Chains A and B, each alone.
Chain A
Amino acid sequence: MNESQNAIALEGTSPRVAAVMISVLAGIAAFCGLLIVLTFEATLPTIKKNQAEYLRQSIFEVLPNAHTVRKFQRSDAPSQGLESTRESGPILVPLVGEESGDELMVYATYDPSGELVGVALEASGQGYQDVIKVLYGYQPSSQQIVGMKVLASKETPGLGDKIELDPTFRRNFLQLDAKLDDTGQVLANEIVTVKAGAKKNGWEIDGITGATISSKAIGRILNASAADRLPVIARNLSRLEAEK
């Protein structure tokens, strides 16, 4: 911050005046810094609580039968045991402590008796205007996506935001086929958005007339995320189920 003060002070003033200016600005800056830190500290717990609550609600929305949620994360520890040889990729372990933010996060949900209901995953990608962020629920037992919620989007209100509001479009995601092929490495059928009303197969999404680009974006986002993460889930299924 001193740079700006110097820059302004340099223009033809004596060093003493400059010193006064710098000390005044430094004083103001110190006061401002203090104020910001105090507010930050005071509001942080509430903000965290709000965010966690929002995510929790969203998870229960995409997986309505869920009762409890457990977070899983990619293991940092070097792989061990038979299951995690090099080909099989990352293993998932229950999250301990703080979320590190940009790691693969899996929200596994269980019914009251402790059976795995499904997993919720976050995904994001480019929409019509800006990045769309979604949360979707995946049911390993039926290999289907069973719910989807748009967490954040800046799609055009009245057109693109139908991906959040349109009931017919949302019905697409109650039973969306996301089977893996026999190798367990790739999706058997890519998830695609087709023209409104043209849906024939379980893995197709009926698009929205007037929001073609946004609804196609949702298909792309889901497909990319599912292709990327479902194999990991499938391999780690026993781990997810074991955690009660």
Chain B
Amino acid sequence: MRGVAQLRVGDMNTDSLGFIFISATVINNFVLAYFLGICPFLGVSAKIDTAMRMGIAVTFVMLVSSMAAFGIHIVLVAIDALYLQLIAYIVVIATTVQLVEMIIKKYSPALFRTLGIFLPLITTNCAILGVALWQTSRQYDFLQSVVFAIGAGLGFCLALIIMAGLREELELSDVPGIVDGAALTLIVAGILSTAFMGFGGLGG
């Protein structure tokens, strides 16, 4: 237990790094429990290969924008302008995506060609804004934020890759015409999401 006469300063988050990581990756998986990043989840999960690339790109952008958001939050608190938080975050994310795109284009044209179309899409991936907003509202410190961003990114990868694997198998099976497409993907996602609920106890 905590020291006796020592007072906890407010509600500063005291979660351990390991817990934050596990929580963001599996317990509160961004796609399957929080429904963030559903658009790419449905759109780019047809092949394992593309799913993996998309996942890596998202994780990377998440990490960079999470660090940037941490800095911005400090600035906004300092100048007492928290009402600009949302607009500042979204601009940072758009910028990060743009920068990542330019850097990849310059240094690795091959990667750019394979990743190219996904990058602009990442701007409207709610999972990234979600990471920035949640790390702020949970008052994570810098290290916690970084771990949270990586965990959320890997969780996103995991969900995307599992889904892609399932869909590759489904391609080969005979599915009634009416369920084919988005409806089937959603129902599979529902089963996955229910399965992921089993991780809940890890936090207790």
Contacts and interface: CB of A to CB of B under 8 A. Distances in A.
A89 interface: yes
Interface residues of B, number: 33
B200 A213 contact: yes
Interface in B1-28: 1-2, 4-13, 15, 19, 27-28
Interface in A79-124: 87-90, 101-104, 122, 124
Interface in A184-228: 185-186, 190, 212-213, 216-217, 223-224, 227-228
Contact of B204 (A4, A213, A232): A213
Nearest to A86: B5
Contacts of A212: 204
Interface in A1-35: 1, 3-4, 7-8, 32-33
B81 to A, nearest CB: 8
Given A1-B91, A32-B87, A103-B9, A227 B203 contact: no
Nearest to B5: A89
A7 B203 contact: no
B196 to A, nearest CB: 12
B25 to A, nearest CB: 14
B99 A7 contact: yes
A130 B15 CA distance: 11
Interface of B: 1-2, 4-13, 15, 19, 27-28, 33, 83-84, 87-88, 91, 94-95, 98-99, 102, 138, 197, 200-201, 203-204
Given A4-B94, A124-B11, 5 more contacts: A32-B87, A87-B5, A101-B10, A128-B203, A231-B5
